[in-house]
Chains A and B, each alone.
Chain A
Amino acid sequence: MRTLLVWLAGGGLFAGSLQTALANGWNMPVGVTELSGDIYSLHMIIFWICVAIGVVVFGVMFYSLFRYRHSKGAKAANFHEHTLVEVVWTAIPLLILIGMAVPATATLKKMYDASDADLDVMVTGQQWRWRYEYLGEDVAMTSNLATPRTQIRGEEPIDESANYLLEVDEPLVLPVGQKVRFLFTSDDVIHSWWVPDLAIKQDTVPGFINENWVRIEEPGIYRGQCAELCGVDHAFMPIVVHAMEEEEFETWLADRREAAEQEAMGIDREWEMDELMTRGEEVYNAVCVSCHQQDGSGNEPAFPALAGNQEMLDDRDWHIDTVVNGVSGAAMPAFSNTLNPVEIAAVITYERNAWGNDSGDTVQPSEIAELLSD
């Protein structure tokens, strides 16, 4: 009897401390969608089932280890088979598992029903950024890590208030309360788009389109990361979702559409070197810097240096072609569907005139637009 009480007390203490630990940010988040809540419940049910089985199994084990010590003169019994017991401990786990499979199946079916969405968002993984397209809305954007490389490399201290490694220049903006369907694909290797609070983790596979969906219940900012090893900067392609009320979202969408039109108008005019250099530096630092480095020194052999690259400076057409169409079979992606003509023209101009490169020439957005329309 006393032993039993001690075991019960010990078990209670153990369960209590687990409960405390799990409540303090050591656990899967409950999240902000109905499904994330369902998944959290499944997780907790299976977790407590495991704890219960563990308490019984390890309880018997440690009791035996303590009670039947050779050093205390224990004499071994002689049994080594018992059909009934063996059948029972095969059957009980089977029943528990069936009990577990039922709610898991129901949740999985809900997760797979992406029909009747209010909004479609295309998510494209790229080494090492995310591209979001609001399908049918003429709005698209690229989302890059915003944490300065200097902090990552330890050249300046980490800013503890700035969501180190979990901040982007352009968050994905979504409306609350609407069913949003995601279509996932990739331009290069497999990535995985994961936001724990939305309970969505879906691989982006080149050549394939995967589906998942979400209906966010609370406005807020939800952060996640790429979850599938995708190369050098796998750790540096975070995801930020900014969920806002529907009206606010509609306004945001309209603003974005207008800005895109504005930029489109800029294609036709002649741009000054200064303008192109300023814009080009922004684009370079968001998109190119992870491979070719801030000072254009690259990372041989996969990522060639751009500073002092004579081949590139001598052959302007080749330079444009490389940025627009990428290099097949190598890490350099085609930027024709990621960047607009203004951005492409600006970044090429920047590469030809920064870090001591002195081609002195500019590349005009109109030139790129013409190339793309062919």
Chain B
Amino acid sequence: MAPKVPPQPTLEQSTTAAAGHGHAHEAPPKGLMRWLLTTNHKEIGTLYLIFSLTMFFVGGIFAMVVRAELFQPGLQLVQPEFFNQMTTMHGLIMVFAAVMPAFTGLANWMIPLQIGAPDMALPRLNNFSFWLLPVAFTLLLSTLFMPGGAPNFGWTFYAPLSTTYGPPSTTFFILSLHIAGISSILGAINIIATILNMRAPGMRMMDMPLFVWTWLITAFLLIAVMPVLAGVITMMLMDINFGTSFFDAAGGGDPVLFQHLFWFFGHPEVYIMILPAFGIVSAIIPTFARKRLFGYASMVYATAAIAILSFLVWAHHMFVVGLPLVAELFFMYCTMLIAVPTGVKVFNWITTLFRGSISFEPPMLFALAFVVLFTIGGFSGLMLAIAPADFQYHDTYFVVAHFHYVLVPGAVFAIMAGVYYWLPKWTGHYPNERLAQWHFWLSVIGVNLTFFPMHFSGLAGMPRRIPDYALQFADFNLVASLGAFMFGASQLLFVAVVVLCVRGGRKAPGRAWEHAEDLEWSVPSPAPLHTFDTPPKFERSSH
């Protein structure tokens, strides 16, 4: 991907884009039809974000059920069968319906604005990608009401637990994942097409904001691995309904093959959920440190390196499955290697802060917490990479602590940072700073109370995915549950801030943050429905 001058956006392209989103002169349909038929990237972005926030609460309620049951030893609220459905649905909803759509929503809103494009390259496809999601997840959630209940085999749905031994609703789960996967692939195609073809004249690849860069790389990851997920769930479908034995040892199949395929998708999937977060944080930190991002080029190369390595580390999820020694060594070395580009990113952020002029607006608070807490998740990741030690860590609460640190104060905090950062652009108002600060501090305290003790319960021997536990784990679990309730409740503040900000608040100018430099700040706040109908002149000084 050598830097090169992109083709000038031709007249034809702008016409296509304009035709797609209902012409400015025609009155757009009103009410529900407007949202159902919209091809405007800002409206679709909003739809994605609302959907994601809704699902964040649905998945959050499942997590609350889990934490309530684990509040003390013994079974109090739910039976193990339902508990397993809750852990499974929590994972599936958070990964596929909350975090991924949130990033896609931000991409929809911000990528055209950041590259000076009038809309996404394929606006009708964009509409279709979004509307697949409510279908997919209505289907998934409906399995809760089916005989035999919802999927109960963990979000990793290992065969044969999910095939021969799965509940009848597994087939619906497969269908819903297929639909969500198609949505992701179409979204990724659209993002790639937009970034490669529709940048403002004069904007080279190496001039793009890092959010655009990280999303471009993420989109390639999505296109590479979503078909593998589709393949593996299709094989499950065949095993369940058509008598094949891909994963059934009794018929000559291989349950371990399932894990290879799943994690070949699953590991890049982890980076799909974190690379755009890197992009958001790389936009926010320079803005509030009033200083250019340190090492722009090395940030781009580090992102690309992480993406490439992500295809070479999948079996570190399988260290205890009985791999040969040489495979263990290969995957251990590659996994350790990922620490290098990830470290580069953290060092760059911190050096950006060094000798800056730093203020602590809500987006910055979340971005700073991201840097610290994501790094803690990175440390436990480095520990997990040590294969011999992983024989003790694997499938314990240590792992639960690790991936929640990267996903909650990692991905989710970055999304929230992005929302606080761009809300003035979306609504024309600043979010209420006092409420946002409360939201931040309660979230930071809650998230650490929830997940920090899990490191210890894991090391002390508590396996994950159990509805009841031995008495020595009681204190850790009590604290974690209290933290989780606190974290869950404080997210209501987030909704309050967003709703209040949409309704009113201090007026924001076009350049809502004084030192923000990317192209989105050159249009008025709130951004009008149609922006950059004529391509802006891109000036190099932006980076």
Q: Mark A37-54, 1 if CB is under 8 A from B, else 0.
A: 011001100110010011
A158 at the interface (CB under 8 A from B): yes
* In-complex Cβ contact of A64 among B153, B336, B353 (8 A): B353
| A69: chain B residues within 8 A (beta carbon) | 357-359
15 chain-A/chain-B pairs, Cβ below 8 angstroms: A54-B375, A69-B357, A69-B359, A79-B355, A80-B292, A81-B294, A105-B329, A164-B470, A189-B161, A201-B391, A225-B461, A229-B84, A229-B154, A229-B158, A299-B81
* In-complex Cβ contact of B322 among A76, A158, A203, A226 (8 A): A203
Bound-state Cα–Cα, A201 to B322, Å: 10
CB pair B355 A77 closer than 8 Å: yes
| A206: chain B residues within 8 A (beta carbon) | 160, 249-250, 255
Which size class do A's interface residues fall under?
35 or more
A111 at the interface (CB under 8 A from B): yes
B387 at the interface (CB under 8 A from A): yes
CB pair B388 A39 closer than 8 Å: yes
* In-complex Cβ contact of A26 among B395, B456, B469 (8 A): B456
| A43: chain B residues within 8 A (beta carbon) | 383, 386, 389, 392
CB pair A64 B350 closer than 8 Å: yes
A313 at the interface (CB under 8 A from B): no
| B388: chain A residues within 8 A (beta carbon) | 38-39, 42, 104, 107-108, 111
* In-complex Cβ contact of A202 among B249, B322, B359 (8 A): B322
Bound-state Cα–Cα, A229 to B355, Å: 50
A328 at the interface (CB under 8 A from B): yes
Tell me the minimal C-beta distance from A191 to chain B in angstroms.
Answer: 10
Tell me the minimal C-beta distance from B187 to chain A in angstroms.
Answer: 31
Among B445-497, those with CB < 8 Å from A are: 456, 459-461, 463-472
B505 at the interface (CB under 8 A from A): no
Give how many B residues have a beta carbon under 8 Å from the other chain's beta carbons: 93
B182 at the interface (CB under 8 A from A): no
* In-complex Cβ contact of B289 among A76, A105, A190 (8 A): A76
CB pair B325 A235 closer than 8 Å: no
CB pair A196 B392 closer than 8 Å: yes
CB pair A27 B460 closer than 8 Å: yes
CB pair A192 B395 closer than 8 Å: yes
A272 at the interface (CB under 8 A from B): no
CB pair B356 A97 closer than 8 Å: no
B371 at the interface (CB under 8 A from A): yes
Bound-state Cα–Cα, A106 to B49, Å: 49
Residue of B nearest to A44 (CB): B389
CB pair B386 A229 closer than 8 Å: no
A339 at the interface (CB under 8 A from B): no
CB pair A203 B321 closer than 8 Å: yes
Tell me the minimal C-beta distance from B223 to chain A in angstroms.
Answer: 29
Q: Mark B323-340, 1 if CB is under 8 A from A, else 0.
A: 001001100110011011
CB pair B379 A50 closer than 8 Å: yes
* In-complex Cβ contact of A93 among B161, B294, B340, B396 (8 A): B340
* In-complex Cβ contact of B355 among A64, A151, A228 (8 A): A64
A140 at the interface (CB under 8 A from B): no
CB pair B391 A200 closer than 8 Å: yes
Extra inter-chain contacts (19) besides given A28-B392, A205-B256, A208-B255, CB under 8 Å: A46-B383, A47-B383, A64-B354, A68-B355, A68-B356, A74-B357, A80-B291, A86-B298, A89-B347, A93-B343, A152-B75, A199-B392, A203-B320, A203-B321, A205-B249, A205-B322, A208-B256, A228-B395, A235-B80
Q: Mark A69-91, 1 if CB is under 8 A from B, else 0.
A: 11100111111111001100110
Among B160-180, those with CB < 8 Å from A are: 160-161, 164-165, 167-168
| A166: chain B residues within 8 A (beta carbon) | 470
Q: Mark B283-320, 1 if CB is under 8 A from A, else 0.
A: 00000011111111110000000000000000000001
CB pair A61 B158 closer than 8 Å: no
A261 at the interface (CB under 8 A from B): no
Tell me the minimal C-beta distance from B517 to chain A in angstroms.
Answer: 12
